Amino acid sequence: MENHDNSPNKRQGKTTNKSTQLKTIFNYLQNHIATASMVTDATGIPQKCITRYKRDLEKQGLLAEVKKGYCKITNHLAWYITTNKNHFPQSNQLKMF
């Protein structure tokens, strides 16, 4: 009989270390503009984790929502995100100084 241990720490090919997951997401989004579902599909990191890291990176000013469009994975309306500052939307506020 086969042993089917599906615990998160034993899944092959899955990244489980928090700092490794964060680096993987950050690096992937440096080169891609994608939805959370697309990042999950590309990296294997669960979407719940991506959502948490997205919030943390946004608070630090390292991630931005670029555009809203239909996800290529889910076909649902979703935000496309990136960590590449060259793609960050420009602020509409006038600079005072």
What digits encode the pLDDT tens for the residues 7-60? 444 444 555 688 899 999 999 999 999 999 999 999 999 999 999 999 999 999
Statement: 16-86 belongs to CATH 1.10.10.10 = yes
Angle between helix 47-59 and 18-31 (nearest 10): 80
Residue 78: strand pairing partners: 69
pLDDT in tens, 71-93: 999 999 999 999 999 999 887 66
- Could you give the CA distance from residue 33 to residue 80 in angstroms, rounded to a whole number? 6
pLDDT at position 93:
63
